[in-house]
Structures are given as structure tokens and as C-alpha cells.
Amino acid sequence: MPRILFALAFAFCAAAPAAADPGIRSDESNQSLSRLKEQAKADELPKVDEPAGAAVEQRYWVVIKAGTRQQRTAIATAGMAIEEVKSDRVSGTAHIKTIQALQAAGFEVLFKENLVKWSKDFPPQDKAYHDFARMKAALDAVVKASPRVASLFSIGKSWQGREIWALRFNTTESGTKPSRKPGAVFVSDHHAREHLSVEMLIKIAEHLSARREDPAVKRLLDARDIYVIPMLNPDGAEYDISTGQYKWHRKNMRVNPDQELGVDLNRNYDFLFGGEGSSDQTYSDTYHGPSAFSEPETKVFKDFLDSRPNVRTLNSLHSYGALIMYPWGGKDAPIDDAADLKAFQAMAGAMARMTGFGAQQSNEMYVATGDCTDWAYDAHKIFAFTTELGGRGFYPGAAEIDKEAPGQVQAALYMIEYSDDPRRAAR
Ligand SMILES: [Zn+2]
């Protein structure tokens, strides 16, 4: 195994009440330019009030001694968001209550530091990253440049009422009109602080647009139904940068009944919901939510896939870990169908070669239930992959965008290509 930097990111929350930012509720397309101008003046990202006792102050970067997969799963179940795995230890973020629970269970804490000390000003070089308004503007620009192949629509609204935008590439159907062409879906930012995943989907969209006349790309645009959803958790992404300091926020912005904030969207899907590797503690970074699809973000994504039986492949991008993974993540077993398993392995292997990442079954590091890709394969037999991007940490700097984009674009073209018949990849 290469460097075992693992991740399935998560974040926390401290949150604004749902009505804190009324500006986001209305017509984004008309507002995006003026917002862009406003934000270009810098230091003017929308301020979000934090409730008393919120979040960051109670959360730590922590290193726990653990040498087995069973121990790692137990640690994840206790609510720690494991981000790095070494042979004898795991590192990641956790609420102080999670750390105390782990200590009570006999786990040794090798290191911990409050995340407040890790917060930093939004560095000028990270202005290349897209916040919600700039992301929308980038998608609008693609549609404007390629109106005959690209269209934009919202699949629904987030907890706080932001639109969850989907950019579609299809030369014969636009918007929400059904298609019989094989479908490929890319989705990013289940986890708020994984901003690099947003950037990769913007790069993929811009590549499809800019190269739409290249024969290799044109062939795919003619024959496939492609969806790019760069920001499934727009509330969390905005909150993470809302004060000019990164907040290490992973979850969405639900205000739980006990005033703890957020649900881990990638534990909220209906596959072994509430099982191992997810927490029932609302303060935890891996809190799975009150019920499967309780969150508007996962519910609208479920509805999106449920209503598109032509979708055959899915890539859910996260950061970080430099891995391409396939189901199961929540079950301590390989998938049953041998032909599907061979196809998953072939496709993950090919995309790993293109990106320089590792390829593995999702549960190899630890078991985590309720995730997007397990559900997509279980419910719809979609060949669904989880990509953990490279780079060091959640805030790897702007240089990482251009460094990773070429590999991600190649992997995306590959996945789109095999969306007609994923098993073809193993033949
Ligand atoms: Zn993640």
C-alpha cells in the first residue's frame, strides 16, 4: 500500500440559524455577479453568527494509538473522523467528548491539539478556490460558452435554502428532461471542508466544455448523459470559510434538537444506516442523523438518482487520501456479484493509474456505514466510486488544484466512457 493517508472527511458545525443569510434564498444567477464583485473586495465573506458553545472550541486534531482495522472501526464509531492511518496509529478530528469516550474505552491518546490553534486566515493564494457564488458563476460560464451541450438546473435546496446545482452535458436533452443515454454522475463536497473536490469538478466541467469539438470528447458528449454536482453541501462549505478562518467543518448545517450542529451527509444514506463507523452522538463528526435521508442534501440527491435509471456510474469526490475506492464501505465483505466486482476493480485500477492513487475496497481501512456509494450500488446497481483526492490536509493550497486536475479529468473521461457497460472494463 502506498502512503496510507486516509480520509472520509467530515466536519463539524456551529451554525447559523436557517434564516441567517436571506440573500442566498433568491435568484442566484442575478445575484452572483454582484456578490462576486462584493467578495472581490476581500475580507467580506458573509459573516455567520456562531451560537454559544459552538463547535470549533471543543474539537481537536488527535492522534490515537490503534493497530488493527477493528480498532480503527471502533474509533470511527465513537465519532472520530479518521483522516490518516499508519500501522500503529490514526489521526483526525474529534470532539472532546469523543476523545474522552475513547480514553474511557482504553484507547491511548498520543497527541491532541485544539483546532482553534490550527485555524488560519484565508490565505491570499487560496482565492483560487470557489466559494458558493463563484462556483455558480463558473457553472454559468460553462453554459454560456457551450449552450448546445451544457445546461444547468437545481436538484433541490440545502438545509439553509441554498440551491444544489447540477451542470448537465448532453447534446440532445437539457435541464431535467429524461434521457436514455448512459448516465455518469460526479458529485463533490459531501464534506464541507473538502474544497479541493469542488475545484476538481469545475475543472472537469470546463474541460468538457472547452474540448467539446475534440473528437474524443465530442463522442462522449453525443453518447452520454453527464451530470456534475460540485457542491452537495453548500451551507457547510460557506460556513467553513465564513469568518476568514477555516473552521474544519465537515457536516451540514442542521441544528440538532440539543443545539449541536450538523449531520455527516456521507453517513446519512440508507445502506446499513446507523451501523459501524457512524456515530449516534449529535456532537460527533460522524453523526449519521436522526434517520436515513433525514437531510435535505442527501434526500434530493437520492431523488435525483431515483428518477434517472439511465445513470450507470458515479464518482463521489472527497479529500484527502489519494485513493479510488469501491463498495462495500459499510459491510465487512466484498460485493457478491463476481462480474460486478471485477468491473469495479478494473475501473478503480484504471483510474488509479491515471491519477497516481491507490485502488481498494472502501472498507479496507475501516468500516463506515450509510455512505453514498454503497447506497447507490445497493439501490440502483450504479458503479459508484469514492475518490479521496491527494494533497496534504483539507487546505492544501491553490497549487494542488492544477497539480491534480489533469489526472482527475482523465479519470472522469474514462468513467464516462465505460458508463454504457461498466463490465466492459474487465473484459
Ligand atoms: Zn469526505
Architecture of domain 124-239+271-426: 3-Layer(aba) Sandwich (3.40)
φ and ψ of 74, to 5 deg: -60, -40
Amino acid at 229: I
Q: How far is the CA of 8 from the centre of ligand 1 (A)?
A: 4
pLDDT attached to residue 124: 61
Amino acid at 85: V
Is residue 382 within 8 A of residue 305, CB to CB? The reply is: yes
* Cis peptide bond upstream of 248, omega within 30: no
Is residue 221 within 8 A of residue 169, CB to CB? The reply is: yes
Residue 133: strand, helix, or coil: helix
Q: How far is the CA of 317 from the centre of ligand 1 (A)?
A: 7
- Here the cell at position 241 is 470559510
d(CA 370, CA 163) in angstroms, rounded, equals 23
Locus of grid cell 473484459:
427
Q: Could you tell me the CA-to-CA distances from 113 to 99, 239, 282 in Å, in that order?
A: 12, 22, 21
Q: Looking at residues 236-249, what average pLDDT do you find? A: 84
Q: How far is the CA of 82 from the centre of ligand 1 (A)?
A: 10
Give per-residue pLDDT as tens, 189-231. 999 999 999 999 999 999 999 999 999 999 999 999 999 999 9
* Dmax (CA) of the chain: 61
Is residue 157 within 8 A of residue 25, CB to CB? The reply is: no
Is residue 188 within 8 A of residue 216, CB to CB? The reply is: no
Confidence of residue 311 (pLDDT cuts 50, 70, 90): very high
Report the DSSP beta bridge partners of residue 213: none
pLDDT attached to residue 7: 32
Q: Could you tell me the CA-to-CA distances from 182 to 112, 126, 382 in Å, in that order?
A: 48, 36, 11
Q: Could you tell me the CA-to-CA distances from 345 to 20, 325, 338, 425 in Å, in that order?
A: 45, 9, 10, 9
Asked whether the predicted pLDDT for residue 143 surpasses 90, the reply is yes
pLDDT attached to residue 60: 87
Q: Could you tell me the CA-to-CA distances from 191 to 135, 188, 319 in Å, in that order?
A: 16, 8, 9
What are the extents of the domains in the chain?
124-239+271-426
Q: How far is the CA of 320 from the centre of ligand 1 (A)?
A: 8
Q: Could you tell me the CA-to-CA distances from 348 to 314, 356, 363, 421 in Å, in that order?
A: 12, 11, 14, 15
Question: How many Cα atoms occupy the beta-carbon half-sphere of 350 within 13 Å?
Answer: 20
Give per-residue pLDDT as tens, 250-281. 999 999 999 899 999 999 999 999 999 999 99
pLDDT attached to residue 196: 97
Entry pTM: 0.80
Q: How far is the CA of 387 from the centre of ligand 1 (A)?
A: 9
Locus of grid cell 445513470:
311
Q: How far is the CA of 189 from the centre of ligand 1 (A)?
A: 7
d(CA 99, CA 80) in angstroms, rounded, equals 8
**Catalytic residue positions, numbered:** 388
Q: How far is CA 220 from the centre of its chain?
A: 25
Q: How far is the CA of 414 from the centre of ligand 1 (A)?
A: 22
φ and ψ of 186, to 5 deg: -120, 130
Q: Which residue has the higher pLDDT, 263 or 40?
A: 263
